[in-house]
Chains A and B, each alone.
Chain A
Amino acid sequence: MKKLLNKGHRFWMEWAARLFFGIYFIVAAYPKMMHPGAFAEIIRRYGMIPDGLSPFVAVVLPWLEYFTGLFLIVGIFHDGARWWGGVLLVLFTLLLAVASVRGLSMDCGCGVALFAEKKVGWSKVLENTLLLIVYYYLLLHKSIKTKGL
């Protein structure tokens, strides 16, 4: 009985997490999809990839984020979407951490910020790290694979 209850709780927690992170990724992707020029400039200012690659990344990355969010909610390619969500969160957190160490002061290009400012800084790194921990425990660590909407 106890085990069943735990599984029931876990089911709803996982479902809520998918909805939350799905919306999170879609909302974060939208402004970047609409303004790739501005996003390319932000990528260039991070200085982590060659300048020539920034327009390409600015065009494709928001769509990857968008489909990750959409598929998390809808339940299509759900394993792939879960892992992409994790990869993107790790990637963004690392980029923010490196930019913070280097003392960059600029718009983070995050698209969405829950508690912190939408700027490069340790508060945004902390926010992303907390999200990553929640994401890992609810959607990657022994997930029970809830169905889509």
Chain B
Amino acid sequence: MKKETMVTLRQMLWIVLLALTLGLAFNHISASGIPLDVTVAQPDSMARVTLVEMKQIVERGSRLILDARYPRFYKRAHIPGALSVPYNSKQLETLMKDVAKDRAIVTYCFSEQCPQGEILARRLKQMGFTDVAVFYEGFSVWKAAQQPVENKVEYHEKTAQ
């Protein structure tokens, strides 16, 4: 093999290694990082709401929609009517204190690869909420399906009313 070709191949390898290292490191520290192990999301372990059902929920307001992502993503755009309740919120009990335990709730995050929607749903179940489902396909599929989005900020405190 020519020396020039070897140099080019070596450079290509270095670029891949750099992308691999920084990509994985950034994913590890980033708020929007995703689990690389898809089994973490366990898509079938909670009640599932499909895209079609989600459209009906938004139209009819039949479930309380909770956006489990970090507030900065919620502020950019979210499913209409959704309220921001970050999955790791330390004030979850306070935020949900006036919501009836039998109120139908649906949570979501970015996509099936992100665990936040399911984590929030589990926390709500542990708190005693009986009808909690997850829109696993998440915001990315909602947006890809060209459904309306909203960027008006509605704080989660309003869920209590």
Indicate if A38 sits at the interface (CB-CB under 8 A). yes
* A36 & B27 in contact (Cβ 8 Å cutoff): yes
A-B contact pairs, 15 of them (CB 8 A): A34-B32, A35-B110, A41-B140, A45-B144, A55-B37, A59-B23, A59-B26, A60-B19, A63-B20, A64-B16, A67-B15, A67-B18, A77-B11, A80-B15, A84-B15
Q: How far is the CB of B50 from chain A (nearest CB, A)?
A: 15
Closest-CB distance, A68 to chain B (whole angstroms): 7
- A36 and B14 in contact, given A83-B8, A106-B144 (Cβ under 8 angstroms): no
Asked if A79 is at the interface (CB within 8 A of a chain B CB), the reply is yes
Count of B interface residues, CB-CB < 8 Å: 39
Shortest 8 CB-CB contacts between residues of A and residues of B: A80-B11, A37-B110, A38-B140, A63-B23, A41-B111, A63-B19, A64-B19, A77-B11
Q: Which of A1-55 contact B (CB under 8 A)?
A: 33-38, 40-42, 44-45, 51-52, 54-55
Chain A interface size, as a band, is 35 or more
A-B contact count (CB 8 A): 109
Q: For the complex formed, measure the closest distance between the CB of B81 and the CB atoms of chain A, giving whole angstroms.
A: 21
